[in-house]
Amino acid sequence: MRKELLDDIGEKELINRLGKFMPKNQTSDDCAFIKTTNENLLVNSDCLVENIHFSDLTICPEDLGWKAVVSNISDLISSGSKKTIGITISLILPAKTEWVWVEELYKGINKALKKYGGIILGGDCSKGNQKTISITALGIQGELKLRRNACSPGEIILTTGIHGLSKLGFMVQNKINFNNNISLSERLIRKSIAHFCRPQVYPNFSTNILKTRSNSKIKKIGCTDSSDGLLQAVQDLAIASNCKAIMNYEKIPKDKDWPEGDKWDEYYFFGGEDYELVFSLPKKWAKRLSKLDQNVTEIGFFIKGEPSIEFKDNKKNKLLNNTPFKHF
């Protein structure tokens, strides 16, 4: 009898199965919540593996160091962190790796920490066949808890920024040929490469959320980041909160030069590594926030129903046949 492989079950099912070895709901968010006597902590880990997440042909080590930090801080922010304490770094590197590569990697790490806060607390290193950077980040839980399972029917779905740029930057860096009928503007190309190499996050996100909160008794809202793509983020919220998501395609924010077409919609909704925040709020709260923060856009709403996604424009539901990035 053939043994079940990770390739068969996929990343999401793997995480679900690993969850039985942990406290209940420990795997429902990207960060673990640790209660302490004084301020509570948030902890998360992410790893980047050569030829899976990066290649020396498409990203320089300094940019890679920056990106490794940002991917972790994005998870902290999307869980409600008010401050990053620091990170630990574990490296697996081939013995033939040049020292200058490691030095440049750490320069990028330090630049990201200088901008977003935190210090290098320590780590580990070992020899291996593939370069692997694994970072564990520690943050302090803010007043408002952001969790995937806190969305409710009737709430508005919102996102920061726009999506798809990192995917486009990756494709440009990999010299992937586009449709001959598509002419990309130089501005969009430069912007997408910058987004791929040096993604940004929103350290003041919780501040704006709290500024527009009218009821101080509300201590928890639904939120995640779009590291695995916009639709995957919405799906994660829907599943964790047991709601159905209705998406409004016409309200989705896109770059002014973003091409039209099914393939470009696929890049936009499934690209990943944009590290935007995807969350839900009651209608009036959502209106106040989107008025205060021009970087926030309403893109849909939750209703009662089986956890799933549906577009208001039925013609766009064919998008849901696409699959997100797979680690296995």
Structural domains of the chain sorted by starting position, each given as residue range(s) with its CATH number in brackets: 31-141 (3.30.1330.10), 145-321 (3.90.650.10)
> What is the 8-class DSSP label of residue 261?
S
| Sign of the C-alpha dihedral computed for residues 284, 295, 172 and 233 taken in this order | negative
Q: Which residues contact 198 (CB under 8 A, 6 or more apart)?
A: 63, 66, 67
pLDDT lower than 70: segments of the chain:
179-181, 323-328
Angle in degrees, 0-180, between the axes of helices 262-270 and 230-241, rounded to the nearest 10: 60
Helix and strand element counts for the chain (H, E): 9, 12
Q: Which residues contact 315 (CB under 8 A, 6 or more apart)?
A: none
Residue 291, pLDDT score: 94
Quote the tokens at residue 129: 């066949």
Do the Cβ atoms of 31 and 42 come closer than 8 Å?
A: yes
**Nearest C-alpha neighbor of 9 from the set 317, 327, 266:** 327
Measured between alpha carbons, how far is residue 62 from residues 3, 66, 69, 202 in Å?
41, 6, 11, 21
Q: Which residues contact 322 (CB under 8 A, 6 or more apart)?
A: 266, 269, 270
| Alpha carbon distance 320, 165 (integer Å) | 20
Amino acid at 94: P
| Alpha carbon distance 56, 141 (integer Å) | 35
> Model confidence over 98-144: pLDDT tens digits?
999 999 999 999 999 999 999 999 999 999 999 999 999 999 999 99
pTM of the model: 0.93
- The residue with tokens 């916009």 is 230
Cα Rg, the chain, nearest whole Å: 20
> Model confidence over 284-324: pLDDT tens digits?
999 999 999 999 999 999 999 999 999 998 888 888 887 66
- The residue with tokens 């039209």 is 260
Amino acid at 70: V
Do the Cβ atoms of 159 and 296 come closer than 8 Å?
A: yes
Do the Cβ atoms of 155 and 281 come closer than 8 Å?
A: yes
| Alpha carbon distance 188, 190 (integer Å) | 6
CB atoms within 10 A of CB 39: 12
Q: List phi, psi (to 5°) of 308.
A: -170, 175
Measured between alpha carbons, how far is residue 211 from residues 201, 208, 216, 271, 320 in Å?
19, 5, 10, 31, 35
- The residue with tokens 């779905």 is 157
